[in-house]
Amino acid sequence: MRKTFLLAFSITALTALVIGGAYTWTTNTQLVSPEGHSGVISGQIVNVAPTGNVLYPLGLANPVPLFEGDIWNTTPTNPGIALHAVAGGGNVAPQSPSCGIIGTALTFDNQNAIAPNATGDHWYWGAAMPADAPQSCMGGTFTANIYALLST
């Protein structure tokens, strides 16, 4: 029995020494602070063209479609994020003389998803002129500022 105990004790002590030796060296790593970056989504209004309509003093409740165009999803192909046109509108730059022209919201053909680097979602924009616009507004020109709100 003593030989068995001595043999078991020796094996246990040797095993503890080997395991203990394996875990005796420790160290800490250096703290690092790498920078990550988030991507961006982007799009552009493209293919802008006049509809051929002209603006008359029909009243502010009667907008006339004046411009049309498309949305181009300029988000990089990788990661492949499609965009939807959610809303949009426009205004008219200050006119001289003041004609009181107001812009309308964009109307979209379908608001379907636009794949990266693809063009879609045809839109229309109109404006309205007050019925009492001054005579000096006849034959005038104005500049429209049109925008679209895009979402994933």
Indicate the domain borders of the chain: 43-151
Model confidence at 5, pLDDT cuts 50, 70, 90, reads very low
Please enumerate, as own/partner, the contacts of 111-114 that have beta carbons within 8 Å and a separation of 24 or more: 111/84, 111/85, 111/86, 112/84, 113/82, 113/83, 113/84, 114/43, 114/71, 114/72, 114/73, 114/82, 114/83, 114/84, 114/85
Residue 130: per-residue pLDDT: 96
Instruction: Please state, in angstroms and as integers, the Cα–Cα distance from residue 91 to each residue in 10, 25, 103, 148, following that order.
Output: 91, 71, 5, 12
N-to-C CA span, the chain: 78
Q: What is the pLDDT of residues 16-50, one digit of tens each?
A: 545 555 667 888 888 888 898 888 899 999 999 99
Q: What is the pLDDT of residue 80?
A: 87
Mean of all residue pLDDT scores within the chain: 86
- Gap between the Cα atoms of 79 and 117, Å rounded: 12
Handedness of CA 66, 90, 104, 144 (dihedral sign): negative
Average pLDDT over residues 101-121: 94
Mean pLDDT of the region 117-124: 95
| pTM for this prediction | 0.74
Q: Which of 60, 26, 41, 65 is nearest to 117 (CA)?
A: 41
